Amino acid sequence: MKQKKIVSLGLSILLLALLAAGLLAVEGSGNNYMLRIVRLCAINIVLALSMNLINGFTGLFSLGQAGFMAIGAYTTALLTIPVAKKQMIFMIAPLIPPLDTLTLPFGVTLLIGGLIAAALAFLVGLPCLRLRGDYLAIATLGFSEIIRVLITNAQSLTNGAQGLKSIPGNA
């Protein structure tokens, strides 16, 4: 039994090392198309893992992951865009004051975006995870729809339907 765990752990470490080497090779290749595909795959892997966590392990059918992902993505993007470009992007309605002069490194903004999405998920999850079956699906779908409408209409926070432009390549 112990031998199987050691072999399984060794194979997992080997697989992760090969994956990391492949990612570093793509990063250093200068092929922007391949880099974009790898980044999109990584984003969708995280989304699939979140779906598997709540749908697969707990058996609850939740449709709120897209809303939480959007909150984290917009938070990261708003904090990563350089200040000079923010003034060009938000021409119709100026960005709300604390964010208009703030630019942080990508790693920090990634952590902040994840924490904000997690905090909101906790607040939404408190009442919603008491529901079961279709009611949970409807409640979380409603939450995702509320987030979509807020993103589309919050001109001074998300630039509305025009969206955010000039997001740095690492974000």
Tens digits of pLDDT across the chain (171 residues): 577 777 778 888 888 888 888 877 877 777 788 888 888 888 888 889 888 888 888 888 888 899 999 999 999 988 998 888 887 887 777 777 877 788 888 889 989 999 999 999 999 989 988 888 889 999 999 999 999 999 999 888 888 888 888 777 665
C-beta separation of 81 from 168 below 8 A: yes
Whole-number pLDDT of residue 167: 79
- The 3-state DSSP composition of the chain as helix, strand, coil percent (nearest 5) reads 75, 0, 25
What is the model's pLDDT at position 68? 93
Q: Identity (one letter) of the amino acid at 83?
A: V
pLDDT of residue 115: 96
48, 67, 153, 163 from 147: Cα distances, Å: 20, 6, 10, 14
pLDDT at 171: 52
Query: Residue 124 has which token pair?
Result: 């939404």
**Distance from C-alpha of 44 to C-alpha of 13, rounded to nearest angstrom:** 22
pTM: 0.78
